[in-house]
Amino acid sequence: MKRTLYTNEYLMFRDAFRRFVEKEIAPHHAQWEHEGIVPRAIWRMAGELGFLCFEAPEALGGGDVHDYRYHAIVAEEIADAGVTGIGFGLHSSIVLPYLLCFGNDEQQQRWIPRMVTGEMIGAIAMTEPAAGSDLAGIRTTAVRQGDHYLVNGQKTFITNGINSDLVVTVVKTDSTARHKGISLLMLERGMEGFTRGRNLDKIGMKAQDTAELFFDNVRVPVANLIGEEGKGFYYLMQRLPQERLDIAVVAVAAAAAALEMTLRYCKERTAFGQPIGSFQNSRFKLAEMHTEIQVARVFVDRCIEALNASELTAEEAAMAKWWTTDLQKRVMDECLQLHGGYGYMLEYPIARFYLDARVQPIYGGTNEIMKEVIGRAMGV
């Protein structure tokens, strides 16, 4: 089905970003998977070419482009190429909006120009060893002492964790309260007492630096508080729908890419004297996946339009997130099965797509939590 979202100017942008991925990222990605991290130089290159922080104001070096389609294109092309170590989406589509929506002028001027150029890499740190889904149960504290906060605690599973320079950190400014005790503080590389732990060894997304962060009496200026004290949970709830849509966009694009490579394989590989795709089981599986991916894409494209119109609801974003990532997981499994033993070999891209996909129903709020969000919106 023809997509109606992307007219010529978007296609030109897509071509340019695809060329960047093909030339500067894809040839090195296997090496970066081996190293467990992508080099900072790739961020600078992306910044120079205008692939980061589209919404940033022109005065701060950005394009002032408020159109989610550009984020979607970047996410789709990264997913299509399977270069899952690249954390541009988190930086531009998740971290930057906290500054744009809730940061003050001074904060925007202090950080955004370097985020646009890729000199400064963003991350968001919510999850802790003892609190993931139960965000209000976090234990990292920020105690106000004059013109600074004293921050103590730790975070885990933080995307861009090793490379990050600027971390939207979810803290408790009132540890006796749950949601209402939460605030957002910007922690910066180099602050005394702010250290990185392990770059975690994952089953997939091997080139993505997912890390632990530790805070030991870190003195964070009050000037680094985003918005108002005690409003952090409210800010997160406002921004999470876009994060969930980012994940859904990736899910559909990765599933489509896996199906394409599998279809090719099914036409080339023969068994019992015929292409394996011509067995009725294979044809049915391919037809089912093709149908479901098309259906998913239409819904996600509609969500993109809704987001652009500031109409995307939390439950619609949750629907998109759980359903597409569940689909992605099933598609990867079926596609791997159609590759037979070769599907189990890491030298075949489908094996990596399968492993990279597994986290999608987990992060950004687990799919169980997504169903809670939808159920609650239904009044049950």
Ligand X SMILES: Cc1cc2nc3c(=O)[nH]c(=O)nc-3n(C[C@H](O)[C@H](O)[C@H](O)COP(=O)(O)OP(=O)(O)OC[C@H]3O[C@@H](n4cnc5c(N)ncnc54)[C@H](O)[C@@H]3O)c2cc1C
Distance CA 240, CA 156 (A): 18
Which of 84, 108 has the CB closer to ligand X? Answer: 84
Looking only at the bridges linking them, the beta strands covering 166-172 and 122-125 are parallel
CB of 124 to ligand X, least distance (A): 5
Is-catalytic flag, 243?
yes
3-state secondary structure the chain: CCCCCCCHHHHHHHHHHHHHHHHHHHHHHHHHHHHCCCCHHHHHHHHHCCCCCCCCCHHHCCCCCCCHHHHHHHHHHHHHHCCCCCCHHHHHHHHHHHHHHHCCHHHHHHHHHHHHHCCCCEEEECCECCECCCHHHCCCEEEEECCEEEEEEEEEEEECCCCCCEEEEEEECCCCCCHHHEEEEEEECCCCCEEEEEECCCCCCCCCCEEEEEEEEEEEEHHHEECCCCCHHHHHHHHHHHHHHHHHHHHHHHHHHHHHHHHHHHHHCEECCEEHHHCHHHHHHHHHHHHHHHHHHHHHHHHHHHHHCCCCCHHHHHHHHHHHHHHHHHHHHHHHHHCHHHHHCCCCHHHHHHHHHCCCCCCCCCHHHHHHHHHHHCCC
Which of 181, 365 has the CB closer to ligand X? Answer: 365
CB of 13 to ligand X, least distance (A): 26
Which of 308, 366 has the CB closer to ligand X? Answer: 366
Which of 257, 357 has the CB closer to ligand X? Answer: 357
Which of 140, 282 has the CB closer to ligand X? Answer: 140
CB of 247 to ligand X, least distance (A): 10
CB of 87 to ligand X, least distance (A): 8
CB of 78 to ligand X, least distance (A): 15
CB of 224 to ligand X, least distance (A): 18
Report the residue number whose CB is nearest to ligand X.
132
Residue 64's Cβ-count burial label (10 Å; 0-12, 13-18, 19+) is exposed
Which of 130, 287 has the CB closer to ligand X? Answer: 130
CB of 279 to ligand X, least distance (A): 36
Which of 203, 345 has the CB closer to ligand X? Answer: 203
State the residues that interact with ligand X by CB under 6 A.
124-127, 132-133, 157-159, 202, 205, 210, 359, 362-363, 365-366, 368-369, 372
Which residues have C-beta within 8 Å of that of residue 168, sequence separation ≥ 6? 95, 98, 122, 123, 124, 125, 184, 186, 226
Distance CA 90, CA 111 (A): 16
Out of 55, 128, 229, 243, the active site residue is 243
For the annotated catalytic residues, the residue numbers are 243
